[in-house]
Amino acid sequence: MSVIKHKGQRVGVFIDTQNLYHSAKHLYNARVNFANVLKDAVADRHLIRAIAYVITTESGEERGFFDALKNMGIETKTKNLQIFAGGSKKADWDVGLAVDAIKIAPKLDAVIIASGDGDFIPLVEYLKLNQGCQVEAICFGKSSSLKLKESVDEFIDMDNEPEKYLMGHTSTREERGPRTENTNKKRPPSKSSRPINNRIKKQAPGALSPDLEAMLEE
């Protein structure tokens, strides 16, 4: 499905930072170029809010990363990593991201979710039916929920141009494959989608990574 995009549209971008980070790490062993993610998500429209949701670590190494996002025009919301008795960990922003999107939606014409997490499908459906928003998603298609891709009005597959959305990465022909349009057409899920999604879910509680500063390197 093609969507209408024009400069007068008010858009909000909600970035599931860990989902993008772990997708890039597992698929390409590379770092995300958040500036280009934001640029293509906005697509020359009127940006109202861009918010990245991040988990903090005890070492506080995220500060440089936060400053870099701020310089791109991206707000950051942080949450501490929770460690429970027995060593189990919890760290996700799914509910917080959804609540913010719903609260800000009345001021927006289009909501862009930077994530491939299928847990956001109910949010997509609510925003479309109850708020009348155009809902788009941008993520690596290989690690994204097929149902999420089908539910949004447009899905931008970052796997089509990994060299654009990753830092210091030059894609091979095998990685790129045949060029496809950013549409909502149904396509068979990648054989690796489910394992990668599972790995992302398991990795997410570990915060952003011990080499987070390397994410900022050009």
Q: Which residues, in sequence order, are bridge partners of residue 166? A: 32
pLDDT tens readout for residues 108-156: 999 999 999 999 999 999 999 999 999 999 999 999 999 999 999 999 9
Computed over every residue of the chain, the mean pLDDT equals: 81
The residue among 154 and 212 whose pLDDT is bigger is 154
b vs e for 175-202, b when ≥16 Cβ sit within 10 Å of the residue's Cβ? eeeeeeebebeeeeeeeebeebbebbee
Region 199-204 average pLDDT: 43
Q: What amino acid occupies position 44?
A: D
Lowest mean pLDDT among 21-35, 80-94, 130-144, 193-207: 193-207
- Structure confidence at residue 28 (pLDDT): 96
Contact call for residues 162 and 20 (beta carbons, < 8 A): no
- Pick among 3.40.50.1010, 3.30.565.10, 3.40.50.920, 2.130.10.10: CATH of 10-210: 3.40.50.1010
Which residues lie closer than 8 Å to 142 by C-beta, 6 or more apart? 23, 27, 159, 190, 192, 193, 196
Domain boundaries, the chain: 10-210
For the chain, what's the residue count? 218
- Please give the Cα distance from 97 to 217 (Å, whole number): 27
The Cα 81–Cα 207 span in angstroms is 7
**What CA–CA distance (Å, rounded) separates 120 from 41?**
17
Q: pLDDT higher for 76 or 59?
A: 76
| Long-range contacts from 88-96, C-beta under 8 angstroms, 24+ separation | 89/205, 89/206, 90/205, 91/18, 91/55, 91/204, 91/205, 91/206, 91/207, 92/18, 92/204, 92/205, 93/16, 93/17, 93/18, 93/53, 93/54, 93/55, 94/16, 94/119, 94/120, 96/53
* Residue 171, pLDDT score: 57
Across the range 202-206, mean pLDDT stands at 39
pLDDT at 17 over 50: yes
Q: What is the pLDDT of residue 102?
A: 98
